[in-house]
Chains A and B, each alone.
Chain A
Amino acid sequence: MIDTFLNLVPVTLVQSLLYAFVGLAIMIPFRTLALPDLTVEGSFPLGGCLAATLITAGLDPFTGTVFAIAAGFLAGTATALVHLYFKIPSLLAGILIATMIWSVDLRTMGMPNLALPLELSLFDAITPKILLDIWLQVALFAAIIVAVIVALIAFYRTEIGLSLRCVGANPRVSPALGINSRRYVVLGFGIANALAALGGALVVQQQGYADVTMGFGVLVNGLAGLIIGEAIVGRASVARQLMAPVVGSVIYYQLISLGLATGLHPSDLKFLTGLFVLATLGLPLLTGRSKLALGG
């Protein structure tokens, strides 16, 4: 059984590095803006379905991926605008937009799922060797996510990034400091869902197909990863906060793989993951240490 797990380590690593984008996309609205957002359940498959459609239609994979990122940004913008102008709580606004995206995905692909020949993918365009070597994939995806984290750390330390953090840290003082909070909420939601869509586009090109249901459950998995990551690396600095969802994702998916290898039934996964999230969020409250709790 342990052999099965060990054999799956690299495959699971690839999976976790790709799904780390979802963790990042959950973290930015939730922690930086203090406005939880569920749009990832829509923006992640949107990025995947759009990229698959465009690339199979003959567009080069780089441009296809860029379009997917842009679509994710728009999805996040839509949720933010619905929240800000219709005064709908951000969670509900995200569910609304994610639900609507489902139809957009079906319209885009014209069918519930779409095969994407791997030789058309971004990775084949970089070098065909990547698709044959799982460790090369691990290295590539690790490099991509590290580059994204470094870019985000740099962004968080710019004047605009600092203002974004201020909106989440103290919404009352922001306008008094000359910050147009609405603009930054839109920007933050946009960036987050652009990252989720990038994750979706990469997953599709790695696994060779897109499916409208690929967003199911990514939110809870991402949240579980985020919580694990925050428990390990903490939230004390910008760098730690941004690394947390990635570190958490890597550990979370290995734990799931270990569970499955040791006889855990796949259909019980969602329940157990939910239970785990509840326990990690609830235990600190019960024991009086609420650092990781939702209000955190």
Chain B
Amino acid sequence: MIVASGLRKTFNAGTASAKVAIAGVDLAVAPGEFVAVIGGNGAGKSTLLNLLGGAVLPDDGRIAIDDADVTKTPEYVRAALIARVFQDPMIGTAASLSVEENMTLALLRAQQRGLRRALTGARREMFRASLARLKLGLEDRLDTIAGDLSGGQRQALSLAMATLRPPKLLLLDEHTAALDPRTSELVMASTVALVAEARLTTLMVTHNMSHALDYATRIVMMDSGRIVADIGTAEKQGLTVADLVDRFRIKDDRMMLNRDGLP
């Protein structure tokens, strides 16, 4: 159970450029829930993810993971519980390290690092099995430098890294937005399969309304740093992309472009 209560965050507080990014957010995510977070640009979606992941600390409020208060826990400690896939394929992996070295680092996310050999035969086998499920042939390219992979492959690798050791919470930050439509669907299909298999608690920021409708069990809509709508599984039934856009008057070009049936 992930519980955020009374979260607030203002960037550049006290200056002329002060920007309220999160203006009081309460959110409880039950184990196994797949929550899609939607909303216009500047609604606070990415900041919410950064607050949960620990990359940004809140001005006010509390974040708990399974009753453990992690509000002030630094990102590198919280990484033991939370895994993240970034929007930019360049950020989620270490470009100058090989596929297997990146996977090793992901394996060590939640454990003490020692002077043991990082790469062992057993670990390589584990990586092969894990990467094979992405069906991109990455299992045969363990020693390829991550920077030599395509954007889609890197994003898939990033996904495999995030799910190698099932986290308490998986954060997906528009992780298919930088990919071409076909690769985007491939990575999304892998995401859905991996999340379902390990019953991962997931928070996915997306601009793709049909991804939100098709795959999430719950849709949370944000505007001006607040949650303005929370649509559960039952209520989600029968909703179309057009309904979502009309109902919440989404002011977002990218969402409008994704709206089915528009010219």
Q: Chain A interface (Cβ within 8 Å of chain B)?
A: 155, 157-163, 165-166, 169-170, 172-181
Q: For window 155-202 of chain B, which residues contact chain A by CB distance below 8 Å? A: 161
**Residues in chain A near residue B54, CB distance under 8 A:** 175
- Pair A178/B110 contact, Cβ less than 8 Å: yes
Mask: chain B, 112-151; 1 = CB below 8 Å from A; 0 = not: 0111111100000000000000000000000000000000
- Pair B91/A157 contact, Cβ less than 8 Å: no
- Pair B93/A163 contact, Cβ less than 8 Å: no
- Pair B74/A175 contact, Cβ less than 8 Å: yes
Looking at the assembled complex, report how far the CB atom of A230 sits from the nearest CB atom of chain B, in whole angstroms.
14
Looking at the assembled complex, report how far the CB atom of B43 sits from the nearest CB atom of chain A, in whole angstroms.
23
For residue B80, CB closer than 8 A to chain A, the reply is yes
For residue B105, CB closer than 8 A to chain A, the reply is yes
Measured in the bound complex, the distance between the Cα atoms of B53 and A174 in whole Å is 13
Given contacts A170-B95, A172-B91, contact A177 B115 (CB under 8 A): no
- Pair B95/A177 contact, Cβ less than 8 Å: no
Given contacts A175-B55, A175-B75, A178-B80, contact A166 B105 (CB under 8 A): yes
Closest to B53 in A: A176
Q: For window 38-91 of chain B, which residues contact chain A by CB distance below 8 Å? A: 53-55, 74-77, 79-80, 83-84, 86, 91
**Residues in chain A near residue B258, CB distance under 8 A:** none
Given contacts A158-B114, A161-B118, contact A173 B109 (CB under 8 A): no
Once A and B bind, how many residue pairs between them come within 8 Å at the CB atom? 84
Looking at the assembled complex, report how far the CB atom of B203 sits from the nearest CB atom of chain A, in whole angstroms.
14
Given contacts A162-B101, A178-B79, A180-B76, contact A173 B93 (CB under 8 A): yes
Q: Which of B86, B109, B116 contacts A178 (CB 8 A)?
A: B109
Given contacts A176-B79, A181-B76, contact A162 B104 (CB under 8 A): yes
**Residues in chain A near residue B115, CB distance under 8 A:** 155, 158-160
Closest to A178 in B: B79
Total residues of chain B contacting the partner, CB 8 A = 34
- In the complex, given contacts A165-B94, A173-B92, A176-B53, what are 7 additional A-B residue pairs having Cβ atoms less than 8 angstroms apart? A157-B117, A157-B118, A159-B118, A163-B108, A169-B94, A173-B94, A178-B109
- Pair A169/B96 contact, Cβ less than 8 Å: yes
Looking at the assembled complex, report how far the CB atom of B144 sits from the nearest CB atom of chain A, in whole angstroms.
12
Q: Which of B77, B84, B106, B117 contacts A158 (CB 8 A)?
A: B117
Closest to B75 in A: A175
**Residues in chain A near residue B75, CB distance under 8 A:** 175-176
Closest to A154 in B: B117
Q: Which of B74, B106, B114, B118 contacts A177 (CB 8 A)?
A: B106
Q: Which of B76, B95, B161 contacts A169 (CB 8 A)?
A: B95
For residue B30, CB closer than 8 A to chain A, the reply is no
- Pair B105/A177 contact, Cβ less than 8 Å: yes
Q: Which 8 A-B pairs have the closest CB atoms?
A: A178-B79, A169-B94, A175-B75, A159-B113, A170-B94, A175-B76, A162-B118, A178-B109
**Residues in chain B near residue A160, CB distance under 8 A:** 113-115
Measured in the bound complex, the distance between the Cα atoms of B113 and A165 in whole Å is 13
Measured in the bound complex, the distance between the Cα atoms of B114 and A163 in whole Å is 10
**Residues in chain B near residue A173, CB distance under 8 A:** 86, 91-94
**Residues in chain A near residue B228, CB distance under 8 A:** none
Given contacts A174-B76, A176-B75, A177-B108, contact A159 B116 (CB under 8 A): yes
Given contacts A175-B74, A177-B108, A177-B109, contact A158 B95 (CB under 8 A): no
Q: For window 4-19 of chain B, which residues contact chain A by CB distance below 8 Å? A: none
**Residues in chain B near residue A180, CB distance under 8 A:** 74, 76
Measured in the bound complex, the distance between the Cα atoms of B89 and A172 in whole Å is 12
Measured in the bound complex, the distance between the Cα atoms of B113 and A160 in whole Å is 6
For residue B97, CB closer than 8 A to chain A, the reply is yes
Measured in the bound complex, the distance between the Cα atoms of B104 and A155 in whole Å is 15
Given contacts A159-B113, A175-B79, A178-B76, contact A166 B118 (CB under 8 A): no
Closest to A235 in B: B96
